[in-house]
Each structure stands twice: as structure tokens, then as C-alpha cells.
Structure 1
């Protein structure tokens, strides 16, 4: 004997309360023939006669009365279960865990978050700022609902969506010798110069090193290795040395001449910015809304 389904039990309880298969069927929004068929199937499954049909309606047999009482208790527990699940889903859908690599977190995510708060009421937002490798790991292990990375090659083991393109530039303090050059740098000259760089695992550093390797130039040891884009940018502004940073990070400094862009030939420093989320999962609710906002970022 297999356990009856909840809708069959609900039908029996309604017949007990309403005294009619037709009335019970209407309450469940099914046809009367369908309800009769379900009741017959329930009796066959349990091996018991549950309902006696008369011209005036239906009455439950003694066995039917006992089963209906037990069914009512079971349904109360099921309803409690579903109410709890709905509450948990509502709580989960109102909380969004996002991880973003440094440049995105510092220069793009604030605007995205502001737009999301305007579109989705009462959302609890958590933003974890890390390098691109750490962001991808957080997504793979289910610690993050949605991530944004800056690596030139999209990470494996996650679902990926292209968001927009970014361009990196060589920047130096205004009093640096490169600021007075008449000719652009060559990739070899850039690679032979100690730079202020991000830590290993950052998309900014990986983009630079991959671009140099593509043209056969290996970067020498860094001048400074720092763990945030802002720290690298501040060091360049303070005169510590040159670096390669996203235009997102230095646009204002370039406009106000706190740093100087140094042209470099034959080196592609463009990179894609990607959204990533757990493989095999579909984005819904606030996560899907945030991705849609990010996708609308002006190119």
C-alpha cells in the first residue's frame, strides 16, 4: 500500500465537511467526475470503503470518519510546512549576496546597488569585495548568489554572462620620466620596468601579464604589490611609480592631471567584465534584477 497524496486527503476532508462530492470538487476547482475518480482511487489505495453515496449527498463510513480525522491532522502539518517554506523563500529572495572584484566593486557596483534598491523594496544586500579568483571560488561553493569578475578569460565551473568591456592604461605620476616621452612605450620597455601592481589572483594583474606574455614579454618583479585598486591608484598619484589600471579607476585623475597616461604600442589592454553565478542554477528575483541593471551600464 502506498501513501495517499495530499489532494486526495483534502478531498476526503472536504466531503466530510460539506456533505457532497460536487461541493468538495468546486472547493478544489476540479470537475465532479474528476473528484469522484480521485475518491475511488483513494478507496482502492487504502483498501477501505470511505464514503456512502445517497440521493441527498454523501456520508462518510465509520472508517471514512477515522481516516478523515487523521487526514486533517496530516494536512495541518503539510500546510504548516508550506507556510514555513514560503517564509524561508521570501526571506531568501529579499537577501542578495554579491561578490565583486576590486575595480567593479569600487567604481561600478555602487551605482548598480543604488538602482537595485530603487527597483526592489526591503532588500538586504551583502557585498563581498575580493579579487577575481576569490569571487569565482565563492560562487562555485554557493557562498555568493552573483559575482562579477575582471579576468581576461572567464572562469570555469560557473555560469558566465558578458556585462561590458573595460580598457586598461599605463599611468605614471606627472614628474615621472615617462610623462615626458615623445615616443610610446614598447611592450618590452613596459615589461622591463618594475610597476605598482595588484596581488596575484586579481583580474587587473592577470590582464596585464597575459597581454605581455602574448607579445613575448615577461614582466619583471613588481615595485609594489598592493591589495586594492584604490591603494594602487593612490600610490601612483603620490608619485611612487607607474602602474597599469582600468580607465574606470583613473578617469578623474587623468582629467585633473594628477596622473599621466603613457601610450604603449602593440599591446592590447582591453578586457571583458563578466557576471558569474553557480553552474546549473537560474538567476531569479533580486539577483536577476541586479544582472539586468549591470547589463544596462553605458558602454
Structure 2
């Protein structure tokens, strides 16, 4: 039997159903009626001569055929979006709507300095920004729910490619009346035996700080892992330990009234590397590289007083 060509809409409905697991939930997300969704999925299955979805009272699950075709469906949808975006760029210059994921330890302290500039450079560009944990952002990018992510390394996958944006130092943050705050220079051995506060293990910086603590003989305060950079700052102010905070956060959120001392540790270079990442076969990859260069330019210009490296 000859296979009929599915429509893009049918593929979009199929992907949405796979992600929602229920016809009702998918229909609500798509803003259509459940009978309409059911009819479209049935038409898709009939066109392909395959059963893609197993229906039950508790919901729906993909058949082996459905699972095998899901990534292809996402790729076709992405290619069509890229086709439309490219046509729009030809007509009106670089632009379009892109879904961007950012880590909560990055977005609030970086985006206000670059989004206005991107809007000025690309008048038709629209960025839908979503904050989430790094692991979730990677999954959403791989599965096509996001087009781009701005995230600190480590972040690697054979299906993704990255463009380095900048390197951001992490600075030792201590109460201003702590004994270390009175030293003219803090040496690495001064951290031996100190309690170091860090973010939860889901954040990329956790393992970086864990390795550092092992090297220096410091202790990670595992009972007090922070859920945010604000939480780490508050715990340091309550003298529960010391921490390393990123420069962008320090620039945005810490002032002299908070009774904190921000110090360098001699001969200790600790930083996080921020990248822009996308799927390696994305049809918009040329524009994404252009966007990464524009972001670097804006960071250099608008955050020139912050100690960042390129």
C-alpha cells in the first residue's frame, strides 16, 4: 500500500500527544477539541498504515512504531520552522520567534544586559525565554521544545553544538567579620577545613566546587546545599559557611550594605564558561552563530565593568 504524505499539522498533533500522554491534555495544549485531535491522529495512522498510539482509559502510550517515528517527526517540524524562518529573514532581515532556555543562575543577571540590544539589532526577533534546571534544558533542547539554550558548561552531547560566549570568574564570598576577610591576601591553603556552601547537585557548578574542595581540603556543607544563588548569599550572611559566587550575580545583587566581603584567592582560577547551544542539524544554525557573536559584542559593551573573559 502506498504511503500518503502526512501534513505538518498531523505531525505537530502527534508530537504534542506523545509529550502530553493523554488526548485531553494534548487537545488543551493545541487549543482544539478532543474529537478533532482523535480524527487527525487516526488520519495520520491511516496515511502511514501504522498504529502509532495505544489508547486506554488511563491515557495513551506510543507503540514501538510511534517511538521510532517520533524523533523524525520532530525533525520534520523543525525543518519546516527553519524553512519559514529563513523565508522571513530573506523578506525582512534576521528575526523570527525562537524558544530560548536559560539556567536560573544565569538568566536574571545576563538577559537584561543583552535582550534590548538584540531587539535593536534584529527588530523582528522575538525570544520566548524559559528558565529551568540544566538537565531539563538539555532534554527540552534535544526533543525540540527549545531552539537554543544559554547555559554554563559542562554541557555536551553529540547531537548538540555550542558556541562559547564568555568566561565568568567565581569569587570567594565571606562575612565581612570572618577571619579570612582580615587577610591582605587569601591563599588556597587558607580554605583548608573551611565549610563551603554550594548549589544543589543538579547545577553544573556543584561538581566544579566539589572537586575544588577536595583539592584544597575544604568541606562541602552538604546539609545546606542552596536552591539558588540568593539562598547561598543569605546563608553566608547568617555565617553558615563560605561560598563562591559568579561575577554577574555579584554585580547585580551584592552591595556594601550586605556586610559581605568579595575576595580573590591567590593563584586560584575558578570560573564558569557560558555557551549558546543548539541542535547540530538545526536549519537556523548559521543565524545562531551570528546571534552568538552579537551576544558577545553586547556583553563586552554593556558589562565592561564586570570581570569577564572572552
TM-score band by shorter chain is 0.5 to 0.7
- Matched residue SS, 1:112: helix
Report the counterpart of residue 209 of structure 1 in structure 2: 210
Whether 1:147 and 2:149 are equivalent positions in the alignment is yes
Report the counterpart of residue 198 of structure 1 in structure 2: 199
- Matched residue SS, 2:282: coil
- Inter-partner Cα distance in structure 2 for 1:146 and 1:267: 32
- Count of matched residue pairs: 212
Report the counterpart of residue 89 of structure 1 in structure 2: 84
Larger Rg: 1
1:195 deviation in Å?
2.7
1:289 deviation in Å?
5.5
Whether 1:112 and 2:114 are equivalent positions in the alignment is yes
Report the counterpart of residue 11 of structure 2 in structure 1: none
1:142 deviation in Å?
1.7
Q: In terms of mean alpha carbon deviation, does 289-298 or 137-146 score higher? A: 289-298
- Matched residue SS, 2:106: helix
- Inter-partner Cα distance in structure 1 for 2:295 and 2:238: 32
Q: Which runs of 5+ in 1 are unaligned?
A: 1-84
Q: In terms of mean alpha carbon deviation, does 117-126 or 107-116 score higher? A: 117-126
Q: Which runs of 5+ in 2 are unaligned?
A: 1-79, 90-94, 301-307
Mapped contact 2:232–2:243 kept (Cα < 8 A): yes
Going from structure 1 to structure 2, the CA distance change for 1:231 and 1:148 (only over 3 Å counts) comes to: same
- Matched residue SS, 2:150: strand
- Inter-partner Cα distance in structure 2 for 1:266 and 1:285: 39
* Residues 97-153 of structure 1, C-alpha deviations (whole Å, 9 max, x = no match): 1111233202112222222222333544321222333322322222211111112x3
Report the counterpart of residue 274 of structure 1 in structure 2: 275
Q: In terms of mean alpha carbon deviation, does 130-139 or 274-283 score higher? A: 130-139
1:198 deviation in Å?
1.1
Mapped contact 1:149–1:203 kept (Cα < 8 A): no
Structure-to-structure mapping, 1:4-153, within 5 angstroms = 89=84, 94-121=96-123, 123-151=125-153, 153=154
1:237 deviation in Å?
4.2
- Matched residue SS, 2:195: coil
Q: In terms of mean alpha carbon deviation, does 250-259 or 288-297 score higher? A: 250-259
**Structure 1 length-normalised TM:** 0.59
Mapped contact 1:178–1:262 kept (Cα < 8 A): no
Report the counterpart of residue 260 of structure 1 in structure 2: 261
Mapped contact 1:204–1:245 kept (Cα < 8 A): no
1:255 deviation in Å?
5.8
Going from structure 1 to structure 2, the CA distance change for 1:239 and 1:228 (only over 3 Å counts) comes to: same
Going from structure 1 to structure 2, the CA distance change for 1:193 and 1:245 (only over 3 Å counts) comes to: same
- Inter-partner Cα distance in structure 1 for 2:124 and 2:291: 15
